[in-house]
Amino acid sequence: MKKLIAIFALLSVKVSLFAAAEFVTIGTGSVTGTYYPTGGAICRLVNKYKKETRIRCSVESTGGSVYNINAISMGDLDFGIAQSDAVYHAINGKKSFKKNPMKKLRSVMSIYPELLSLVVKTDSNIDSIYDIKDKRINIGNLGSGNETTVSYLLNHLNIKKSDLGYVGKLKVGEAPDALREDKIDGYFYMVGHPTANIKDASSSSNIKLVPISGKEIDKFIEKNPFYVKGEIPAAIYNGVPSATPTFGSKAVLITSSDVSNKAVYTLVKAILENFEKFKNLHPVYKYITKESLLEGLSAPLHDGAVKYYKENNFIK
Ligand code: GLU
């Protein structure tokens, strides 16, 4: 009998240890983009501590920002990366979130800047954003941040989608092949640079990056405080020797108020306590600082993140 009790006791310890483990998933974007390796970099750091924290992190490739925001709000994903413009619209119930504000969205940190990129074939005769009229342009799949940002921008510029020769809804991961196979003349991608996606396009096709700048773009940025001017660096893609002016937003790590303080605290701690290591995991993190992680957030911080930031004097 005593033996049996001992076995039961042991089993229940095991069961409770097992039950205590928390599995968290980070929704990202196309595997060729920058969200996906960023999710991987975060999970790698989080999983270093899994024995002590009992938190295991995994990454999922998804359709992008809007998909992640919706999935987090519905409890299908614990974390996700999303453009700060989409987060702003989601939490405030604006634009495509008008009927359905995502009140549970919480910020964890803002990671790096993303820039709207217009990748076109060199022989496409597209030298400015206005030249996309009559051309075959991939805007992106529903659920991507690209698709929403580009739609707002075209609306602001009075370019109707029906003015384009073809409005592509391909996932951006498929765009480099579509370009090479001459199915499209160009595509938009809101992404952190350098990205494997545009590297791929620049080695399989002759490409150029089109500047997205000028008076109307300045007005657009002025109207939307989550956008800032930026430049895609020179010489990171074949055939693009100089910097390309454009604008962008921030890639923000988001979660839901339903996710545990412990999980959020663990993610923030794993990133911040290995910050130099994290920065070396992708060249897009080159200019980020611990302070910049708190800039450009439009959803309130999650309590678990607040706890870490307060303990470490990032915020009062
Ligand atoms: N900003 C893009 C989107 O929300 C994704 C960028 C990436 O995957 O790096 O659709």
Query: Do 70 and 134 reside in the same domain of the chain?
Result: no
- Helices 84-91 and 145-156, interaxial angle, to 10°? 80
Question: What type of residue sits at position 135?
Answer: K
Confirm if 285 and 100 have CB atoms less than 8 A apart: no
- Torsional class of 63: left (φ above 0), alpha (ψ -120 to 50), beta (otherwise): alpha
Look at strands 105-121 and 244-256 and give their pairing: antiparallel
Is residue 1 a part of any domain in this protein? Answer: no
Residue 63 CA to ligand 1 centre (angstroms) = 8
Q: What digits encode the pLDDT tens for the residues 67-109?
A: 999 999 999 999 999 999 999 999 999 998 999 999 999 999 9
Residue that terminates a domain, selected from 232, 249, 266 = 249
Confirm if 89 and 56 have CB atoms less than 8 A apart: no
> Cα–Cα distance between 275 and 258 in angstroms, integer?
27
Residue 13 CA to ligand 1 centre (angstroms) = 43
Query: Do 127 and 242 reside in the same domain of the chain?
Result: yes
Report how far apart, in Å, the C-alpha atoms of 247 and of each of 190, 213, 231, 287 are. 9, 8, 7, 17
80 close to ligand 1 (CB < 6 Angstrom): no
Number of domains, the chain = 2
27 close to ligand 1 (CB < 6 Angstrom): no
Query: Do 55 and 180 reside in the same domain of the chain?
Result: no
Task: Point out which residues pair with 246 in neighbouring strands.
Answer: 230
Q: What is the pLDDT of residue 9?
A: 53
Atom of ligand 1 nearest to the CA of 29: 8
> Cα–Cα distance between 94 and 139 in angstroms, integer?
21
Q: Which range marks the domain in which residue 200 is found?
A: 115-249
Is residue 316 a part of any domain in this protein? Answer: no
29 close to ligand 1 (CB < 6 Angstrom): yes
117 close to ligand 1 (CB < 6 Angstrom): no
Lookup result for tokens 């303080």:
261
**HSE on the CB side for 125, CA within 13 Å?**
5
Q: What is the pLDDT of residue 230?
A: 97
Atom of ligand 1 nearest to the CA of 81: 4
Q: What is this structure's pTM?
A: 0.94
> Cα–Cα distance between 122 and 129 in angstroms, integer?
14
Atom of ligand 1 nearest to the CA of 34: 9
Query: Do 30 and 125 reside in the same domain of the chain?
Result: no
Q: What is the CATH number of the domain that holds 304?
A: 3.40.190.10
Is residue 97 a part of any domain in this protein? Answer: yes
Is residue 10 a part of any domain in this protein? Answer: no
Confirm if 177 and 95 have CB atoms less than 8 A apart: no
Query: Do 120 and 231 reside in the same domain of the chain?
Result: yes
Q: What is the pLDDT of residue 20?
A: 72
Residue that terminates a domain, selected from 216, 249, 282 = 249
Query: Do 241 and 300 reside in the same domain of the chain?
Result: no
Query: Do 243 and 257 reside in the same domain of the chain?
Result: no
Lookup result for tokens 């009998």:
1
Q: What is the pLDDT of residue 15?
A: 47
84 close to ligand 1 (CB < 6 Angstrom): no
Give the residue ranges of the chain where pLDDT is below 50: 8, 12-17
Atom of ligand 1 nearest to the CA of 140: 10
Q: What digits encode the pLDDT tens for the residues 102-114?
A: 999 999 999 999 9
Query: Do 122 and 213 reside in the same domain of the chain?
Result: yes
Query: Do 107 and 256 reside in the same domain of the chain?
Result: yes
Is residue 5 a part of any domain in this protein? Answer: no
Interacting residues of 277 by C-beta distance below 8 A, sequence separation 6+: 45
